[in-house]
Amino acid sequence: MLNGIVPLFKEKGMTSFDCIRKMRGILKMKKIGHSGTLDPNVDGVLPICIGKGTKVVDYLMSSGKVYRGSITLGFSTTTEDLDGDVVEHKSLKKQLSDEKINELLNSFVSDDLIQIPPMYSAIKVNGKRLYEYARNNEKVERPEHHVQINYFKQIKDSFYDSKKHEQTIYFEVGCGKGTYVRTLAVDFGKKIGMPAVMSNLTRIKSGNFTIDQTVKLSDVEDAMHKDDIDSVMYSIDHALLQYKHVEMSDSQWKLVQNGVWLRPDELDINDEKCVLTYKKDIKALYYFSKDKQAFKPEKMFSNK
């Protein structure tokens, strides 16, 4: 059975589940998942977790994401991107200066930014997804969403269309999990009383993978045909690089196999979490319990 992570490049026009379905067909196995949905019109890094790799999805998602894209001021849509129907037009009579753009972008940087999720999103309210309410033209109160924005910056000169009276701003944003970049674009416009959309978006980093590390579905298929899947797959350890690794002795491994707690002096570390390996193979992630003053299992990857 295959175990690991494939940093897939998701192409535009595909859903994230389309990628999972195709990967299941290519690899001939069902235990496959992804770490962070990308909308169909967004391309970029989509880490695919295979076999035991599905156990590290949460750790991949917590590593943060980086996107590059554009915001266009002058109109808004039902979906907050170019897929939706235009619902408002407003001419931007005077283009924003770089100074004003940078000031607005910086105003979003926060450890606790509150967003209202777009109606065309998969968040459930009263057991029903928001996009289902939207498609039925039903109104529902959307819950506040707390996200982290590490930075939000301009990456090249903006473009002002003097005929359409629209301005497009090109950005890069580093953010935590659950951030709706579409909503960042819309809220950017709201700060100056202008309708706005996210007019383009690419995820360039996710789960410690950058876009230059990604492979396409065709690359995965070729690797399978050549019996060389390891050439496109990373170890599950890639999701756990931020934690100290401790190689266990034979006696420690016997204890860990049964979920036994370990004292800090047994592991010779004072970190909050650590990865335990045996014969260089990852076996478990342990965390320090202050109440018990011992390391306890948070996630077991193998007990064999």
In the chain, where are the structural domains located?
4-62+208-238, 65-204, 243-300
* pLDDT score, position 102: 97
* pLDDT score, position 232: 96
Same fold? 4-62+208-238, 65-204: yes
The class level of CATH for 4-62+208-238 reads: alpha beta
Q: Is the dihedral of CA 67, 145, 239, 216 positive or negative?
A: negative
Please state the CATH superfamily assignment of the domain spanning residues 65-204 in this structure: Pseudouridine synthase (3.30.2350.10)
Q: Please tell me the distance from the alpha carbon of residue 150 to that of residue 105, in angstroms, as a whole number.
A: 11
Phi, psi of 35 (to 5 degrees): -115, 75
Angle (deg, nearest 10), helices 16-27 and 217-225: 10
Q: Please tell me the distance from the alpha carbon of residue 227 to that of residue 30, in angstroms, as a whole number.
A: 19
Q: Where are the beta strands (DSSP E) in 74-219?
A: 75-77, 86-89, 110-115, 124-125, 128-129, 145-161, 166-175, 196-206, 209-210
- For 37, other C-beta atoms within 10 Å of its C-beta total 13
User: Alpha carbon of 268 to those of 91, 224, 294: distances in Å?
Assistant: 64, 42, 12
- Does the annotation mark 39 as catalytic? yes
Q: Please tell me the distance from the alpha carbon of residue 125 to that of residue 292, in angstroms, as a whole number.
A: 38
- The segments of the chain whose pLDDT lies below 50 read none
Tokens of 177: 């999990």
* pLDDT score, position 82: 93
Phi, psi of 119 (to 5 degrees): -60, -35
Check whether domain 243-300 has CATH 2.30.130.10, yes or no: yes
What H or E segment, with its residue span, contains residue 99? helix 98-106
Q: Please tell me the distance from the alpha carbon of residue 261 to that of residue 272, in angstroms, as a whole number.
A: 14
Q: Please tell me the distance from the alpha carbon of residue 232 to that of residue 210, in angstroms, as a whole number.
A: 14
The catalytically annotated residue of 18, 39, 85, 187 is 39
Q: Please tell me the distance from the alpha carbon of residue 238 to that of residue 256, in angstroms, as a whole number.
A: 22
